[in-house]
A and B are shown apart, each in its own frame.
Chain A
Amino acid sequence: MVEAPIKHRSALNNWRDKLLDRLEPPSGPMADLQAIARNQLESLPAPNCSQEDWRFCDLAPIAEIEPRQIFSLIKPAAPVVTNQVTRVVIGADQDPLAGVVLPEGLTLLNETELKQSLGNNSNLATSKGHWPLELNQAIAPRVIGLRVRGKVEETLELVCDAGNNRGVIAVHVLLILEEKSKLELLQVQLSAGANLTSVVVEVQLQKGAQLQHGLLALGHPQSALLAHLSVDQEPTSELCQASVCQGWGVMRHEPHLNQLDGGAHTELRALQLVNSNQLADTHSCVRFNGPEGALDQLHKAVAAGNGRSVFNGVVQVPREAQRTNAAQLSRSLLLSDRARIDTKPELKIVADDVKCAHGATVSRLQQDALFYLQSRGIAPPQAAQLLLRAFCDEVICMLPPAAHAWQPLARLLDAV
């Protein structure tokens, strides 16, 4: 008798199975896509550390989260909104845009437009079978689809607060910025308990379009965040993305940018802070599919306690991407002997007439700067905090101005 091989099933695979079992049957405008994704997810092994892409990113803590979909969210304790900001609060099963007066230049995508545009994104098309994306699609009850025409004067603020709910929430946003349009988008992801937030943002930037995108993600030691940003950029478009993530038990951030024909400008600024046993992993990928594209990327990390920070920055410059000008810098601060930083620039350059700079530094707080501050009467903890604040502020100040109402700097410094 031949024994059947013992199949090792990870806790995350079991969790996935339980989650799929408990989901309501596919329904609503996304029903067919949900059904496909659920089938796909069912047969997809959960990410594990033996896969290169997940080598340093152990998602096992997600298996501790109750495998069920969250159906209602409480209204977040958000700062007072100014008249320069249109706030959209994302619940779980309610339509977040119901009753919201969109500013001039923003219109809703109808069902047909949504279906035509969804999945057209070049990054997503090549990411079929990517576990976090399939998970999102399997659960997300709807896609928030918006078209941007002309310059939108107000900042669009999307707020999703998972609160202390137990379970999983999925958010999917699709933005189409038409030629020469302009939008400032602030995405606020919050959590205060044992839950998983899965968020996918798809963006199409047509010629000359400009998007300033801020992600402020403040979590809880028992919470998890899987955030995926997928942007297609046509020539002369500009993307400036700043992300600030802190406090999640597990956080994976995947900004994927594709300059479809080169000639676009991409600016990425990121800051992630880990403490206790937290893990924050940013896996970015920028691809130039044509000449004369530009990238300016700065990734910063602060690791304290037993925290672990991971950065993997892929830059792809194929033969057709001549005269690309790309710069990537990773700067990390280690604040404890037990914390860990893994940083890896990954430049894949085939074109021969390009400028591609990269650098990575991992250090403690500068001792000469600390001594200088102390020699002026500033006590060591205060001196360290001044230096830490300066380190963080370089990215925080790049968030859209609307983010400052959320007091990101104070929240970050309180947590370290």
Chain B
Amino acid sequence: MICTDAPVLIEICDLHARVDDQPILNGVNLTIKAGEIHALMGRNGSGKSTLSKVLAGHPAYSVTQGSVRYCGQDLLTLQPDQRSRIGVFLGFQYPVEIPGVSNLEFLRVSTNARRLEKGQEELDTFAFEDFVQERLGLVQMDPAFLDRSVNEGFSGGEKKRNEILQMALLEPLVAILDETDSGLDIDALRIVSAGVNQLSNAENAILLITHYQRLLDLIKPDYVHVMAAGRIVRSGDKALALELERNGYEWVDQGLKALGTT
């Protein structure tokens, strides 16, 4: 939902980042306002996932230039847990399995961390169970998964549902969903997409990283951006995703070649 006078939630300016001395991001510019859904597309290795990890504060990536302002404050000076507590959420492409850590306990601790930051009361075990039961319905997740270890033995689809469940519990202002559609069957894709749509509102924003139109058929983006060689090379509306579906990325290669960049 585009609203021109909506507040800016995140503003990325000329962002450069590297991992192991290898530059990955080479000047990303992106502004996301409340209420908007943005889709970020691009070939494998174009820097989409790196951007998501840099925004979440992954320690393996170092920012060499540029800035990211989140709700007016410098996001890059904050630790990953601080970023999460103030409302930045990364839905992982490959959610991590953590044997021995109870999923329910993990969800409760993380939810309470966010609630405290928002000035809300912590939920005790019983209150949290009620809360999580209500949110489980959003992703039609079997409550039995709460009793397991975090993501351990979950199928690809179950892991992604668990990610969206976390989003539902943490109620972030900016949710970055990295290939949330990968590993999902058709029904699961519909369920997860419906969950994301329900969580989307005028106060928050979503950045969807995806390769496929199928997700964008279910979650309608307001803006579509194409990333290549570590920067956003083109932005448009949802028609741009349809064009990519038809024509692929060859035009990107030609454009980069013309600029002398690969």
Contact of B237 with A by CB under 8 A = no
Write the B100-123 contact mask toward A (1 if CB under 8 angstroms, else 0): 110001100110011001000000
| Contact between A394 and B110, CB atoms less than 8 A apart | no
The docked-state distance in angstroms from the alpha carbon of A374 to that of B90 is: 11
The stretch among B4-12, B52-60, B227-235 that forms the contact with chain A is B52-60
Question: Given A369-B96, A386-B106, A390-B149, is A375 in contact with B101 using a C-beta cutoff of 8 Å?
Answer: no
Of the candidates B57, B85, B106, the one whose C-beta lies within 8 Å of that of A373 is B106
Q: Which residues of B are found within 8 Å of A390, using beta-carbon distances?
A: 98-101, 149
Docked complex Cα distance between A4 and B66 (Å): 79
Question: Considering the chains assembled together, what is the distance between the CA atoms of A367 and B61 in angstroms?
Answer: 13
The CA-CA distance from A374 to B110 in the complex, in Å, is 9
A131 at the interface (CB under 8 A from B): no
Question: By CB atoms of chain B within 10 A, which of A374, A383, A386, A389 has the most?
Answer: A374
Interface size on A, residues (CB 8 A): 23
B154 at the interface (CB under 8 A from A): no
Contact present for A372 and B96 (CB under 8 Å): yes
Which residues of chain A from 231 to 245 have any CB-CB distance to chain B below 8 Å in the complex?
none
CB pair B100 A374 closer than 8 Å: no
Could you tell me if A368 and B96 are in contact, using CB atoms closer than 8 angstroms?
yes
B100 touches A367 (CB 8 A): no
The answer to whether B109 and A382 touch across the interface, beta carbons within 8 angstroms, is yes
CA distance A394 to B83 in the complex (A): 31
**Residue A32, interface by CB 8 Å:** no
Asked whether any CB of chain A lies closer than 8 Å to the CB of B81, the reply is yes
Which A residues are within 8 Å of any B CB, using their own CB? 366-369, 371-380, 382-383, 386-387, 389-391, 393-394
Taking a contact as CB atoms under 8 Å apart, the answer to whether B59 and A367 are in contact is yes
Q: Which residues of B contact A374 (CB under 8 A)?
A: 57, 79-81, 84
Are B110 and A377 within 8 A (Cβ)? Answer: yes
Known: A374-B81, A390-B149. Is A369-B98 also a contact (CB below 8 A)?
yes
In the complex, what's the smallest C-beta–C-beta distance from B99 to chain A, in angstroms?
A: 6
A383 with B96: in contact, given A378-B113, A390-B101 (CB under 8 Å)?
Answer: no
Interface size band for B: 20 to 34
Residues of B close to A382: CB separation below 8 A: 109
Residues in B whose Cβ lies below 8 Å from that of A378: 81, 106, 109-110, 113
- The complex places the Cα of A377 from the Cα of B109 at a distance, in Å, of 8
Residues of the B chain whose Cβ atoms lie less than 8 Å from the Cβ of A368: 96
Closest Cβ–Cβ distance, residue A388 to chain B (whole Å): 10
Pair B98/A377 contact, Cβ less than 8 Å: no
Check A375 against B109 for contact (C-beta < 8 Å).
Answer: no
Task: Determine if B92 and A372 form an interchain contact, defined as CB atoms under 8 angstroms apart.
Answer: yes
Q: Report Cα–Cα, A327/B211, bound state, in Å.
A: 44
| Chain B neighbourhood of A393, CB < 8 A | 100
Top 7 nearest A-B pairs (CB, nearest first) are: A390-B100, A377-B113, A376-B110, A377-B84, A372-B96, A374-B80, A374-B81
Rounded to whole Å, the gap between the CB of B39 and the closest CB of chain A is 21
Q: Mark B58-97, 1 if CB is under 8 A from A, else 0.
A: 1100000000000000000001110111000010100110
Residues of chain B within 8 A (CB-CB) of A391 are 100
Q: Is there an interface contact between B96 and A377, defined as CB atoms closer than 8 Å?
A: no
Most buried by A among B57, B92, B100, B105: B100
User: What are 12 residue pairs bridging A and B, where the CB atoms are less than 8 Å apart in the complex?
Assistant: A371-B96, A372-B92, A373-B98, A374-B81, A375-B84, A376-B170, A377-B85, A378-B106, A383-B81, A386-B101, A391-B100, A394-B99
B56, A377: Cβ atoms closer than 8 Å? no
In the bound complex, CA of A367 to CA of B96 (Å): 10
**Chain B residues with CB under 8 A of A371:** 58-59, 80, 96
Instruction: Say yes or no: A377-B81 contact (C-beta < 8 A), given A371-B58, A371-B59.
Output: yes
Shortest Cβ gap from A103 to chain B (Å): 33
B81 near A379 with CB under 8 A, answer yes
Q: Shortest distance in angstroms between A399's beta carbon and chain B's nearest beta carbon?
A: 15
CB neighbours (8 Å) of A389 from chain B are 100-101
Binary contact track B118-136/A, C-beta < 8 Å → 1, others 0 = 0000000000000000000
| Interface presence of B166 (CB below 8 A) | yes
In the complex, chain A residues whose CB is within 8 Å of the CB of B149: 390
* Known contacts A380-B81, A386-B106, A375 near B57 by CB under 8 Å: yes
Q: Within the assembled complex, what's the spacing in Å between the Cα atoms of A275 and B81? A: 27
Contacts of A367 in B (CB 8 A): 59
Q: Find out whether the CB atom of B170 lies under 8 angstroms from the CB atom of A372.
A: no
Tell me the nearest residue of chain B to A393, going by C-beta. Answer: B100
